């Protein structure tokens, strides 16, 4: 049995705050500050360049990747860390295109995170491929014999809608296409099973439900059947078979290591590694059950007590990730009012109140407080103050 009281206690949650924005930036693990301080003091400062061997910096991207593998239904040695999610989307997509050389169409949906679409558009323009973007519900109908790669984010960053990874992957494979899955809103939030779904490539970030800190490095997974054939367009020295031979010609490293590019972000990986240790002993089925319970209770509570909002997320929990969105015409101001009262969710343009439920540290007490606070704000109209309408640079 997972001890969710213990996992909650592993995070620093500011006094008076109900944090429902872990789908944007996870809170700091209590041990992260000491771990990073120790890394800087004992490794960087004292070992200097020898830290690459003595402190294991060189193998850290895969060691950390192994911790993520378990959370997403992948095997050991199949995941490696580095760069940002956008870079990893580019790598996965370019490798997938190369593995399907007779075809040039990339299919995605309008619920994908914009950066994924920008990356795909940039790659398509560069290599002469075609990016087709359809509505999320039209994806299945748009898979045809032209398709090279189906590139989707499993859980929609706004609506929380969850794609059926296994079904869409099977359909893509039947049509002769490969799949690239973005797990930004899945990893650490729901029960992902990449091997079970027979996916081809997957990527994700670690600063949301995995709590690695702002700008924490991304991960990439390649199904072992492709790992020795995938040629990343972005080929850097850390992905070379022998980085320190300084060979002028590139020979890809075996397996997933070839997806490394430049020097890994060692300080950030130290924070992330600590954050992933919190997952030791967490059962992913239990995590999913807890997530469903939290989002179901939140939807029921808001619909019972909060006037003027309409559910934006799928009502069926099987079709939903671990977040809930509600629409309100004054969503921006309403969210500022919530934040002012210590309930932190976020606003997504144009009119969405978004609440993420991280089962690792959110509980029913967070649901109750968020419902009560939102209800009060909407019933009294207290959101309608000038300071709540003022837009910040980053919203």
Alpha-carbon span 213 to 269, nearest angstrom: 10
Tell me whether residue 124 or residue 284 sits nearer to a copy of itself (CB atom).
Answer: 124
- Is residue 66 part of the annotated active site? The answer reads no
Nearer to a copy of itself, 125 or 315 (CB): 125
What is the bridge-based pairing of β-strands 343-344 and 18-19?
A: parallel
List 150's β-bridge partners, or say none: 107, 179
The nearest distance, CB 87 to a copy of itself, in angstroms, is 6
Q: Which of 182, 200, 351, 366 is catalytic?
A: 182
CB of 224 to a copy of itself, least distance (A): 22
Which residues are annotated binding-site positions?
Answer: 85-86, 113-116, 153, 182, 185, 207, 237, 263
Closest CB 56 distance from a copy of itself, rounded Å: 9
**Catalytic residue flag (residue 88):** no
Separation in Å, CA 348 to CA 40, 75, 371: 37, 35, 19
Q: What 3-state DSSP class applies to 14?
A: coil
Alpha carbon 214 to its chain's center:
13
Indicate if 157 belongs to the active site. no
Least CB distance to a copy of itself at residue 234 (A): 6
Catalytic residue among 208, 258, 260, 320: 208
**Which is closer to a copy of itself, CB of 205 or CB of 299?**
205
* Residue placing its CB nearer to a copy of itself in the complex, 202 or 205: 205
User: Residue 305 Cβ, how far from a copy of itself at the closest point, in Å?
Assistant: 25
Alpha-carbon distance 4 to 288, whole Å? 12
Alpha-carbon distance of 156 to 294, in angstroms, equals 18
Give me the catalytic one of 157, 354, 357, 366: 354
In this structure, is the dihedral angle defined by the CA atoms of residues 265, 183, 160 and 318, taken in order, positive or negative? negative
User: Of residues 19, 113, 157, 209, which has the active-site annotation?
Assistant: 113
The token pair at 367 is 């649901």
* Closest of 153, 85, 93, 81 to residue 129, by C-alpha: 93
- Known binding-site residues for pyridoxal 5'-phosphate equal 85-86, 113-116, 153, 182, 185, 207, 237, 263
What is the Cα–Cα distance from 85 to 88, expressed in whole angstroms? 5
Closer residue to a copy of itself in complex, CB, 78/346? 346
CB of 284 to a copy of itself, least distance (A): 25
Assign 132 to helix, strand or coil: strand
Name the active-site residue from 19, 90, 157, 207.
Answer: 207
28/189 with CB nearer a copy of itself: 28
Owner of token pair 């020097």:
263
Strands 218-222 and 79-82, by their bridges, are antiparallel
Sign of CA dihedral 206, 212, 214, 217: negative
Q: Which residues are catalytic?
A: 113, 182, 207-208, 354
């Amino acid at each position: 049995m997972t001890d969710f009281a213990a996992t909650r206690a592993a995070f620093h949650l500011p006094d008076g705050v109900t944090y429902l924005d872990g789908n944007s930036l996870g809170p700091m693990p209590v041990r992260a500050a000491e771990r990073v301080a120790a890394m800087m003091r004992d490794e960087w400062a004292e070992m200097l360049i020898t830290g690459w061997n003595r402190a294991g910096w060189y193998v850290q991207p895969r060691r950390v990747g192994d911790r993520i593998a378990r959370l997403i239904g992948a095997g050991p040695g199949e995941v490696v860390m580095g760069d940002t999610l956008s870079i990893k989307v580019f790598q996965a997509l370019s490798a997938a295109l190369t593995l399907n050389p007779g075809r040039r169409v990339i299919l995605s949906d309008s619920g994908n995170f914009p950066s994924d679409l920008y990356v795909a558009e940039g790659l398509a323009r560069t290599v002469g491929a075609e990016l087709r973007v359809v509505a999320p519900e039209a994806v299945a109908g748009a898979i045809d014999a032209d398709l090279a790669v189906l590139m989707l984010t499993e859980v929609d960053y706004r609506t929380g809608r969850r794609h059926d990874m296994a079904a869409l992957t099977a359909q893509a494979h039947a049509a002769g296409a490969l799949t690239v899955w973005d797990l930004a809103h899945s990893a650490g939030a729901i029960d992902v099973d990449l091997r079970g779904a027979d996916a081809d490539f997957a990527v994700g970030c670690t600063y949301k439900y995995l709590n690695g800190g702002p700008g924490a490095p991304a991960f990439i997974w390649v199904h072992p059947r492709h790992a020795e054939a995938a040629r990343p367009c972005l080929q850097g020295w850390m992905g070379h078979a022998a980085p320190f031979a300084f060979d002028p010609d590139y020979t890809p490293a075996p397996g997933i290591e070839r997806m490394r590019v430049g020097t890994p972000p060692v300080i950030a990986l130290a924070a992330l590694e600590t954050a992933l240790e919190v997952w030791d002993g967490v059962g992913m089925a239990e995590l999913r059950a807890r997530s469903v319970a939290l989002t179901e209770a939140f939807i029921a509570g808001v619909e019972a007590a909060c006037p003027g909002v309409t559910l934006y997320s799928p009502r069926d929990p099987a079709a939903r990730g671990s977040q809930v969105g509600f629409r309100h015409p004054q969503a921006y101001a309403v969210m500022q009012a919530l934040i002012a009262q210590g309930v932190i969710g976020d606003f997504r343009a144009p009119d969405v109140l978004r609440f993420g439920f991280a089962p690792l540290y959110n509980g029913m007490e967070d649901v109750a407080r968020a419902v009560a606070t939102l209800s009060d704000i909407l019933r009294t109209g207290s959101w309608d103050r000038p300071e709540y309408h003022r837009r910040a640079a980053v919203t």
